[in-house]
């Protein structure tokens, strides 16, 4: 499966200054700037800017934005950019859009940012076109429009903007707003890669590894992983283990040679680092054709989360990990099973307005609930945990809260059932010394087993992929992730809503969240208590499927008893697939939120979560709030599914469900 990386641009002021046919004061300011006398440049330019000279105003805005010759002041920068932008200076329009997009010096306002980006883009500013693509692609609610994203990315990509080429490749890669086309994805990734884009190089490697759009070629995949590592893509160092284990020494040497040849052919010419034009100041009597030398930072929804790399050493602990009930919460977002798909988790959190383009908390006082099963299958479980641990800290500082609940896959990893741990997950824990550690563990095993040893080294290596022992240590009682997971709750109540992973059966209907959480912690801390305990009970909160699949009439008394016992009006569960959309059962008393978020099942991007605002539950489908249906198998459910499908790329993953419902209800197809 292709790993999707989504890059959202955090845009900083461009470092370009205008020189044009203006009074001697402007030329004097230009001379001062070139000599490094920024205060002198400001002294010459600011009076001109205050008189309305647009290029002087733009240059003053840049000085304030960069803190050159004056303390950095984005509010002042915005003031002077506005003077220039109002007179049609496209660079000022673009940079003003940047400030509104980031909320620097002005209130964060995506609508205002779009206005200024559009003005600049219509004048041919390719950075503005790329930024419009980002907003339409990743913006919340009404901003999200994949057709518009495609249009603006295409303009920027055709003009040679690597970020736009990369993002266009992603859209074709996952079929977002366009029919899925791996060949077109490869074409655009290649254009971005030719400009040194590490993310594009890594995604090309994955295409070759999986044989998507090209024949399977592990040597070629290894070559591109090597190049991606050199360019700093954070995934490549882990993913390259997949090809290393499948190639012989001759093939690896071939890939290394070809990577060196590619690198040499794409190396920037001497004196022109980065392949960009020089940023020498022009001092002509006409507007200078000065290039943009943007300092944009690009980060991927599928890359390692900023501030929480795989090498994280500090354990973020919830403010009160033993608290089971919260009240007075105005907004709650609940996300179902993630299963190691970091890119999809980022996409859904961004669609709910909980994180920004750098994957940092932007949700204010919102409470986020992740109902378990972060781990396994998708290959990027470690990145998912790193992100959630980071967001715990950031949300707490903002007055919000992140509740990560345990699911069956978390407890399985704790007690050692590793059937669903993917090769990528093990590889994410591998180090250069992993092979030596594995050999030592085998030698120790053979020495201890003596004549009873019946495992060859080859069998041992197959059973223990590189990173296996490091992963086990990290999930142990003293490991970074093991400590954190053991601190998490299993069941919580926020206001009048109960949250757990699989649902509470009749066996636990009268057991309080506090008691369930206590028993789970005791069993995970003492493995001797697992047998016959709540953690492994098929009717327990990690495994039960009755609320998702059972007869509603028969089980309604159980639901009512559970809710009455816990002082709740509804129970939110995951664990069982809800067929691509948030789905209520039992007259809305149970809400299923596992929409099949991870692409490991079908390589289809589904973006949705549950929102509870002021006590009312809604589906948040691709950033759009939808009223949940009043019935569960009738016209209102059909209305809801069609509204959700209309927001999906074509064909919608809901198409089959809608067709079945139309057949069963006799509804007229449109």
pLDDT on residue 178: 87
Helix/strand/coil (H/E/C) assignment for every residue in 478-509: CCHHHHHHHCCECCEEECCEEECCCCCCHHHC
pLDDT on residue 469: 96
Query: What six digits make up the tokens of 271?
Result: 């004196």
d(CA 302, CA 176): 15
574 close to 501: Cβ distance less than 8 angstroms:
yes
DSSP helix/strand/coil, 625:
strand
**Of 455, 462, 534, whose CA–CA distance to 491 is shortest?**
534
CA distances from 669 to 635, 662, 666 (A): 13, 7, 9
Query: What six digits make up the tokens of 403?
Result: 């509740």
> Would you say the pTM of this structure is higher than 0.75?
no
pLDDT in tens, 576-612: 999 999 999 999 999 999 999 999 888 888 999 999 9
d(CA 364, CA 396): 9
**Of 328, 322, 499, 312, whose CA–CA distance to 391 is shortest?**
312
Query: What six digits make up the tokens of 113?
Result: 């940012």
248 phi and psi angles, rounded to 5 deg = -90, 175
277 phi and psi angles, rounded to 5 deg = -70, 155
Reported CATH class of domain 325-418+478-628: alpha beta
DSSP helix/strand/coil, 265:
helix
Query: Which one-letter DSSP state was computed for residue 569?
Result: S
pLDDT on residue 300: 26
367 phi and psi angles, rounded to 5 deg = -100, 125
Query: What six digits make up the tokens of 603?
Result: 């390589």
d(CA 16, CA 352): 35
User: Which bin fits 629, alpha (ψ -120 to 50), beta or left (φ > 0)?
Assistant: beta
Helix/strand/coil (H/E/C) assignment for every residue in 250-263: HHHHHHHHHHHHHH
261 phi and psi angles, rounded to 5 deg = -65, -45
Q: 349-377 in b/e burial notation, b at 16+ Cβ within 10 A?
A: bbbbbbbbbebbbbbeebbbbbbbbbbbb
Query: Which one-letter DSSP state was computed for residue 624?
Result: E
The domain limits of the chain are 325-418+478-628
Find the largest Cα–Cα distance for the chain: 94
d(CA 614, CA 331): 6
CA distances from 32 to 13, 20, 27, 290 (A): 21, 15, 9, 18
129 close to 158: Cβ distance less than 8 angstroms:
no
pLDDT on residue 451: 78
Query: What six digits make up the tokens of 633?
Result: 């198998």
359 close to 394: Cβ distance less than 8 angstroms:
no
CA distances from 419 to 3, 376, 379, 428, 535 (A): 21, 9, 13, 17, 17
**Of 134, 118, 153, whose CA–CA distance to 350 is shortest?**
134
pLDDT on residue 241: 82
d(CA 427, CA 246): 14
- List, for the chain, all residue ranges whose pLDDT scores fall below the cut of 70: 1-24, 139-143, 267-322, 664-670
In this structure, the number of other CB atoms found within 10 A of the CB of residue 96 comes to: 31
d(CA 506, CA 561): 8
Query: Which one-letter DSSP state was computed for residue 576?
Result: S
**Of 511, 490, 510, whose CA–CA distance to 502 is shortest?**
490
Helix (H) or strand (E) holding 626: strand 624-627
Cis peptide before 651 (omega within 30 of 0): yes
Burial class (CB in 10 A: 0-12, 13-18, 19+), 257: exposed
pLDDT on residue 501: 98
pLDDT on residue 587: 94
**To 10 degrees, the CA torsion angle through 309, 310, 315, 320?**
80
d(CA 33, CA 44): 10
326 close to 495: Cβ distance less than 8 angstroms:
yes
CA distances from 528 to 288, 358, 416, 524 (A): 76, 43, 13, 9
**Of 17, 21, 83, whose CA–CA distance to 49 is shortest?**
83
- CA 415 to mean position of chain CA atoms: 28
pLDDT on residue 276: 32
Contacts 24+ apart (CB under 8 A), 116-125: 116/85, 117/93, 119/85, 119/90, 119/93, 120/90, 120/91, 120/93, 120/94, 121/152, 121/155, 123/88, 123/90, 123/93, 124/90, 125/90, 125/91, 125/93, 125/94, 125/292
DSSP helix/strand/coil, 620:
strand
């Amino acid at each position: 499966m292709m790993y999707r990386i989504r890059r959202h641009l955090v845009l900083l002021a461009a470092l370009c200054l205008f020189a044009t046919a203006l009074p001697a004061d402007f030329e004097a300011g230009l001379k001062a700037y070139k000599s490094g006398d920024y205060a002198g440049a400001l002294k010459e330019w600011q009076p001109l800017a205050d008189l309305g000279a647009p290029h002087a105003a733009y240059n003053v805005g840049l000085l304030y934005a960069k803190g050159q010759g004056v303390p950095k002041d984005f509010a002042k920068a915005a003031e002077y950019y506005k003077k220039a932008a109002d007179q049609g200076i496209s660079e000022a329009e673009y940079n003003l859009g940047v400030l509104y997009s980031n909320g620097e010096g002005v209130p964060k306002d995506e609508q205002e940012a779009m206005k200024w980006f559009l003005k600049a883009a219509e004048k041919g500013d390719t950075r503005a076109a790329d930024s419009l693509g980002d907003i339409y692609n990743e913006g919340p609610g009404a901003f999200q429009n994949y057709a518009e994203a495609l249009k603006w990315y295409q303009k920027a990509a055709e003009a040679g903007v690597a970020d736009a080429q990369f993002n266009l490749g992603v859209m074709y890669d996952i079929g977002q707003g366009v029919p899925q086309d791996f060949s077109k994805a490869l074409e655009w990734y290649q254009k971005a890669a030719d400009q040194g884009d590490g993310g594009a190089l890594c995604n090309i490697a994955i295409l070759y590894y999986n044989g998507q759009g090209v024949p399977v070629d592990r040597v070629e995949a290894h070559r591109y992983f090597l190049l991606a590592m050199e360019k700093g893509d954070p995934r490549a160092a882990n993913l390259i283990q997949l090809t290393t284990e499948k190639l012989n020494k001759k093939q690896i040497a071939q890939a290394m040679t070809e990577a060196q040849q590619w690198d040499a052919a794409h190396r920037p010419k001497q004196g022109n680092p980065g392949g960009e034009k020089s940023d020498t100041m022009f001092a002509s009597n006409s507007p200078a054709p000065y290039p943009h030398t943007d300092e944009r930072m690009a980060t991927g929804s599928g890359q390692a989360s900023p501030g929480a790399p795989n090498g994280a050493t500090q354990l973020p602990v919830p403010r009160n990990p033993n608290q089971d009930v919260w009240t007075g919460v105005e907004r709650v977002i609940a996300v179902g099973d993630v299963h190691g798909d970091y890119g999809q988790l980022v996409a859904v959190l961004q669609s709910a307005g909980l994180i920004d383009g750098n994957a940092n908390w932007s949700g204010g006082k919102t409470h986020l609930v992740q109902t378990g099963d972060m781990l396994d299958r998708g290959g990027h479980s470690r990145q998912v945990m790193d992100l959630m641990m980071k967001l715990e800290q950031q949300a707490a500082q903002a007055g919000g809260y992140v509740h990560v609940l345990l699911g069956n896959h978390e407890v399985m990893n704790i007690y050692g059932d590793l059937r669903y741990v993917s090769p990528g997950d093990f590889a994410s824990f591998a180090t250069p010394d992993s092979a030596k550690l594995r050999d030592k563990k085998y030698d120790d095993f053979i020495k201890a087993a003596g004549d009873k040893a019946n495992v060859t080294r080859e069998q041992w290596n197959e059973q223990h992929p590189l990173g296996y022992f490091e992963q086990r240590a990290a999930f142990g009682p003293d490991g970074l992730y093991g400590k954190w997971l053991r601190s998490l709750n299993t069941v919580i109540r926020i206001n009048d809503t109960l949250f757990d992973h699989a649902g509470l059966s009749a066996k636990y209907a009268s057991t309080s969240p506090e008691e369930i959480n206590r028993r789970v912690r005791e069993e995970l801390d003492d493995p001797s208590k697992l047998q016959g305990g709540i953690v492994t009970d098929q009717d327990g909160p990690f495994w039960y499927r009755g609320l998702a699949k059972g007869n509603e009439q028969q089980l309604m008394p159980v639901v009512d008893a559970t809710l009455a016992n816990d002082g709740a009006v509804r129970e939110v569960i995951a664990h069982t697939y809800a067929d691509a959309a948030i789905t209520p059962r039992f007259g809305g008393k149970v809400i299923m939120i596992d929409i099949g978020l991870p692409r490991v099942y079908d390589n289809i991007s589904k973006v949705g979560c549950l929102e509870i605002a002021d006590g009312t539950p809604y589906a948040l489908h691709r950033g759009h709030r939808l009223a949940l249906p009043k019935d569960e198998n009738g016209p209102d459910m059909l209305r809801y599914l069609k509204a959700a499908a209309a927001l999906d790329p074509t064909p919608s993953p809901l198409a089959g469900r809608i067709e079945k419902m139309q057949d069963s209800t006799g509804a007229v197809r449109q």
